Each structure stands twice: as C-alpha cells, then as structure tokens.
Amino acid sequence: MPRARAENCGEREYFHEDRCCVFCEAGTFVANHCSASHSRGKCDPCKEGEDFTAHENGLEECLHCRHCKEGQMIVRPCTLTQNAECRCKRGYFCADEGCEICQRHSQRHPDREEITPNCSDTTDPGCGSPSQGKGALVLVIPMVSLGLGLLLVFILKKLKCDKAASTDKDAEGGLTTGRMCSCDATSCDSYKVREPKCQIIVKDLSQKELRDTFDVFIKEVPPQQWKRLMKTCLQKNDIDTIISKFPDNREEQSYQMLLIWRNTLGTKQCIINLLDALRHIDAKAYYNVAETLKSNNIIS
C-alpha cells in the first residue's frame, strides 16, 4: 500500500487502489476491497479455531492461531477475535521472556540419579527438592556461603571505586571532575544488573505519526535481525506470505509485517512490544530507535 498516497484516509480506513476503504471489524478480513472511496468492501469471518483478527483491519486473510508446543498447555483457546494463549505444563518452566520452549524441571540426587520433581510452570528452574532435612541443608549451606562471598567481593570493589573517585578532585575549585572510576568486567556487570528499568509511554498517534514510527524501525533495525524481531509476534507462515507478495521490496515487506503487529496488539502496545523485543535482540538498534522516537515526541 503506497503510504504517501494514503494520508487523506481516515483513522478507520486503509488505502487500496486510489480508494480509502473502511476497515473490516475484528474477527473478519477483507474478502473484496471497496468499490467506492470511504465505503466498506466485503468482509468475511475468520475460521473459528484456525485463524483470527484482534482488531479492525484491512488484511486480505486472517492471522493463524497459535498452536501450543511440546511441554505447553492451552490456557485460552483461539477465537475469532483473540489468539490462543499457552503456558508451561506442570513440571516445565520457561527460561526466556517469549516462552518459545518449555523446559522440564530436573535435578540430581547425591548419587547423580536425575529426577523430575512435581513443579509448577514457574520460571525458576530450581523448584522442588529430592529430599527434606539434611538434603535441603546440603544445598542451602553452600548457596549461603556463595552469596556471602559475592557480597563481600562487591563491597570491597565498591569501596575501592569510591576511594578512587573521592581522590580525583579539581585542583582549583575543589570539585570532583566527574570521572567515573574504572571497574573490571565483574563489578561493572553488577552495576548493570541494578540499572533501573523505565516505563515507556506512547502518545496517541495519527496515521502519519504511526507510519513515521514504523519507518524508524525499518531504517534502524539491521536487515539480518529483522526476521528475528518479527518472529517474536508473527508466525513464520505470516512472514513467508508477506515476502512472497512483495518479493523485491524489503521496505514494503517490513511495513506489512508491522501492520500485522499493530492489528494484533493495537498501536501503543505494538510499539512498546517492538521496543522491548528489540532491546534483547540488538542493543544499538534499540538505543537508536528509542532516541529517535523520543526526539520525535512519540514516546516518553
């Protein structure tokens, strides 16, 4: 869809062949586009349990329902207007935020026999214990000792850094120069872990602002990382379908994929999820996108 020619369309319209068509409702897709501008074409329903559309849209086909993988169980079935939700089965846990694969809880007895405790779907793989009493103490005492040792190392390094910083004074004014003390990899990693997280707030966007925002992602995310970013929300079939429709136009491919993000999650949550996923995939691209969106007054 040529974006430059779609600026005259309304908030609930999409551009198709020189016409502004009204979006189909959630749970349906565009079977036939409108024949006159500012009207709605033919909207057909998605197939219950097979595909869905969560928001009003101009898609020519519904989005495929999520299928729970091995080690997962379905929490909420796929309906016409919402995707299925999966969670780990009892005895499994997720080691990543996207919960792509559920791993089985396991630990070993002192005689090295592997067992699977009766755990829930917590993200902590260390739940359960092979025995009570002495077995628990055998595990707890080394962990406490290790924790005290790490705490002592951190305190010593912090004192060393504070001392170096306090001696770095300005000769004339008696003020610190602002130079941060140098830390080795271990201590610097400790500070990074304690870096506070911030909440991203997205303003209400016009269609033009949304297109400009998508352009920032398309420009800043390296091509080799694009599919990985898209797979955090899109099914592989959706990505392949879009690529086949626009085989020689990477920018249009990327834009169509982002439209599915927007139709699935909504405008604001789409941008928040994109930034969060990008932060784990490419830190440099995340920083560039976030700074650009802040300077454009899109996010705060």
- pLDDT, tens digit (0-9, with 9 covering 90-100), for 178-202: 333 333 333 333 334 444 457 889 9
What confidence tier does 6 reach under pLDDT thresholds 50, 70, 90?
low
* CATH number at 207-295: 1.10.533.10
Q: What is the pLDDT of residue 3?
A: 47
Ranges of each domain in the chain: 3-64, 89-143, 207-295
| Relative orientation angle of helices 267-281 and 207-220, to the nearest 10 degrees | 10
Q: What is the pLDDT of residue 191?
A: 36
Cβ-based neighbour number of residue 57 at 10 Å: 24
Dihedral-angle region of residue 91 (phi above 0 means left; psi in -120 to 50 means alpha; beta otherwise): left
Question: Is the Cβ–Cβ distance between 16 and 10 less than 8 Å?
Answer: no
What's the predicted TM-score (pTM) here? 0.41
Q: Per-residue pLDDT for 125 more than 70?
A: no
- Overall CATH class of domain 3-64: mainly beta
Question: Is the Cβ–Cβ distance between 219 and 296 less than 8 Å?
Answer: no
